A and B are shown apart, each in its own frame.
Chain A
Amino acid sequence: MENNLDKHIKALTPEIERTSKWWKLLFLLFLVLFLTGIYGLILQITKGHIVTGMRDNVVWGFYIVNFIFFMGLSYAGALISGALHLFKAEWRRPIIRITELTTVISLLIGPCFILFCIGRLDRVFYLLMYPRIQSPITWDVIAISTDIAGCILFLYLSFIQDFAKLRDYPELKVGKFRKKLYKAPALGYQNTPKQKHLIEFSKNIMAAMIIAIAIIVYSVLAWIFGVTLQPGWHSTIFGPYFVIAAVYSGTGLIIILMWIFRKVYHLEEYITKKHFINIGVLLMIVAAFYGYFTFSDYLTKWYGSVRMDKILIDKLFADFYWAFIFSNYIGIIVPLIVVGFPKLRTIRNITIAAIIALIGLWVNRYLIVIPTLETPYLPIQDIRPDWVRYTPTWVEWSLTIAGVSVFGMLFMLASKFVPIVSISEVTDDEKEDNNEKQLLSV
């Protein structure tokens, strides 16, 4: 077993031990994009929101779209990692670290976009000082902070065993400081039955918790829209619709990350075609559900013929025609076809389908937020026509790209500190296989 452990550590730690030229270049690129975003943010803080495309009508622009999008990715990561862990899906082991990291990193980035959207950042602490429980915004603050705490705890639980393994692995070529960094959070873990039981038991608790919290938190986010009397938002279906959409986008992202790390870190032995097909099937099932919810939502609005809903739908099919078609037709149909036909289920095809699904979901979020705000029940009288239509400025684009860059940077940094495939999960898998073989031989 120890030889196998050595083999896995050797296979999974090279990126921890050395930093390639490409890694540095990519990190530098992300850093430059991030700093551009920071410059945009400084400009926005000093000059005000006039530097953005948001005006009196469309007060939520790219920032809220990104907020919903990143939070969705996070909840999907939580739901998938929690469910895979709880149901002991064996194929989860090489990919569960990616899902856990997706959860936490997205969860750290998402709420930042809310801050960008606030005109008076100096008053943010009022939310904590004078919370009103009856306000959906307060629900969101409480829910997101609870979710962050839970997801970090769950991630840390999965790190402990790997930290201990890296701490005890003498051939790991990292500096003394890095070794010390592994020692402290490893908590003196020695893989005793009691310690192992405590970790497994705690992981089970947290897996169940984060599934429940992810559903509640994303529903709360959906209710911020659902309880608002705006055309297109005031819908009872929004809670489950948002949860399904979140799982859909998150599954897409996980497939993309699996493809990237498999290629870049040469993890072909660990992340196999089987993993892509399994998670691709999940993508296909969720695509069907997501399509069903989308259809239900728009069908009831269209059939109801409420004046403002009709105007909104007409606008979606006129001003946002291609975005609507891409998001709600192509973004759903392509994953269904690619994964639905076994012949098309290649790693490349599934990844392309996942990219389409992910971009489609971002566009879907845009279509939920912007056209509705451009179609208010009570239009502002004599408003300047160019204030009714929303067009994002370079500041909003730069901060959006900065968000994606931070996601990339944090993932890259995390992969320098812990293996992107969990060593403990992979070795546990083999131990269980051996136990089963022994039982069969008896």
Chain B
Amino acid sequence: MNTSELLTVKKTLTYIIFSFLFVFTSTGLSAQDSVAAEKHSSMLGFSYLKRTDGVRVLSATASAVINRQFIPLVNCQVRFFCSDKEVAVIETDNAGKALLLIDASYKQQCSDDGSTEYKAVYEGNDTIEETESSVQITDISLKLNFSETDSLRIAGAKAYQLSPGGDTIPVKDITLIFAVKRMFSNLKIGEGTTDKSGFCSCEFPKNIPGDSIGRITILVRIEENELYANVEASGIKTWGLPTKATTSFVKRELWTEIAPVWMIITLFTMLTGVWAHYFYVAFNIYRIKREGKKIEKAKKEQLTV
């Protein structure tokens, strides 16, 4: 091959390598290139939950729509408002979520119909549009009570509102969901609608596993209601079946006090095999030295003779 042919081959190879790299660098795996071009629309998921202890949890999840995908907006500031009054500015976490916990003692302003507006605002930046989301909530409370007659266990709940004077006003026709708290989610056990006195109950099953002495956390919830959003109350009862925790971990050899027999046998067989060879080789080295000494001694004897 002459020089010009060699140059052609080199050029072709360079072309192939660069083409290859170009293909792999331009597959659009990174969305960063298109980000700077125009503002992306954003969304703010917003939810309200009133807990048993009266704390109201406001959760705002900010995301941008980039290449038709919802990308969480991380470390962005979300402003929370309660009846148009700014109550907090919270930075989103890695999932784009900002959480605000409003203490039960906080007195929020109500509108004429007794409701309160909660609002979350993300003001956007150079590349992301601003967005906001709000909910209008009427305050309501739930109170759980438990009764046991013969072998019948009843979980009941009362839904009520507080008047400005502090009196309780029952709330009727509200759907309540009864559930038991499990490790990852709630196990629904019954559902009902409140009567005129704001009361609703359900029979509690006897076969729900509890902890070692049968304790379980029973919940009653209002879920996704137009007026009240999410409200819950909970209580602990020993209505579950006592459960002795059996975990596969105790059978896992790596967590036991002593290694499994097969592991000990394998390790010691291998180590013995390897180190036996080492010692044999070390012995051979000693034999080489012994042979050397013999030769040296013979040479000395020859010299003295």
B93 contacts A133, CB within 8 Å?
no
Tell me how far the C-beta of B121 lies from the nearest C-beta in chain A, rounded to whole angstroms: 22
B24 contacts A153, CB within 8 Å?
no
Chain B contacts for A202, CB-based, 8 A: 281, 284-285
Q: Which of A135, A194, A343 touches B9 (beta carbons < 8 Å)?
A: A343
The distance in angstroms between the C-alpha atoms of A377 and B284, with both chains bound, is 53
Q: Which of A192, A206, A318, A382 touches B30 (beta carbons < 8 Å)?
A: A318
Contact with B along A127-148 (1 / 0, CB 8 A): 0000011110001001000100
B295 contacts A187, CB within 8 Å?
no
A317 contacts B29, CB within 8 Å?
yes
- Interface check B75, CB cutoff 8 A: yes
The distance in angstroms between the C-alpha atoms of A262 and B296, with both chains bound, is 38
Q: Sorted from nearest, which 8 A-B pairs have the closest CB atoms? A: A188-B292, A133-B259, A134-B259, A187-B289, A317-B29, A202-B281, A202-B284, A198-B284
B94 contacts A385, CB within 8 Å?
yes
- Interface check B106, CB cutoff 8 A: no
The closest CB in chain A to the CB of B296 belongs to A188
- Interface check B17, CB cutoff 8 A: yes
- Interface check A247, CB cutoff 8 A: no
The distance in angstroms between the C-alpha atoms of A433 and B213, with both chains bound, is 85
- Interface check A76, CB cutoff 8 A: no
List B residues 230-275 near A (Cβ within 8 Å).
Answer: 253-254, 256, 259-260, 263-264, 267, 270-271, 274-275
B264 contacts A133, CB within 8 Å?
yes
Interface size, chain B (Cβ < 8 Å): 43
- Interface check A333, CB cutoff 8 A: yes
B271 contacts A333, CB within 8 Å?
no
Given A202-B281, A205-B280, A343-B6 in contact, is the A379-B94 Cβ separation under 8 Å? yes
Given A150-B274, A150-B278, A337-B13 in contact, is the A134-B292 Cβ separation under 8 Å? no
Chain A contacts for B292, CB-based, 8 A: 187-190, 195
Q: How many A-B residue pairs have CB under 8 A?
A: 103
The distance in angstroms between the C-alpha atoms of A196 and B24, with both chains bound, is 57
Chain A contacts for B264, CB-based, 8 A: 133
B21 contacts A325, CB within 8 Å?
yes
Interface size, chain A (Cβ < 8 Å): 46
List B residues 57-100 near A (Cβ within 8 Å).
Answer: 74-75, 93-94
Chain A contacts for B74, CB-based, 8 A: 385
Contact with A along B274-302 (1 / 0, CB 8 A): 11011011101101110111011000000
- Interface check B185, CB cutoff 8 A: no
Chain A contacts for B274, CB-based, 8 A: 146, 150, 209, 212-213
Q: Which of B6, B259, B278, B284 touches A149 (beta carbons < 8 Å)?
A: B278
Given A146-B275, A188-B289, A385-B74 in contact, is the A321-B29 Cβ separation under 8 Å? yes
List A residues 99-116 near B (Cβ within 8 Å).
Answer: none
Tell me how far the C-beta of B291 lies from the nearest C-beta in chain A, rounded to whole angstroms: 5
The distance in angstroms between the C-alpha atoms of A325 and B26, with both chains bound, is 12
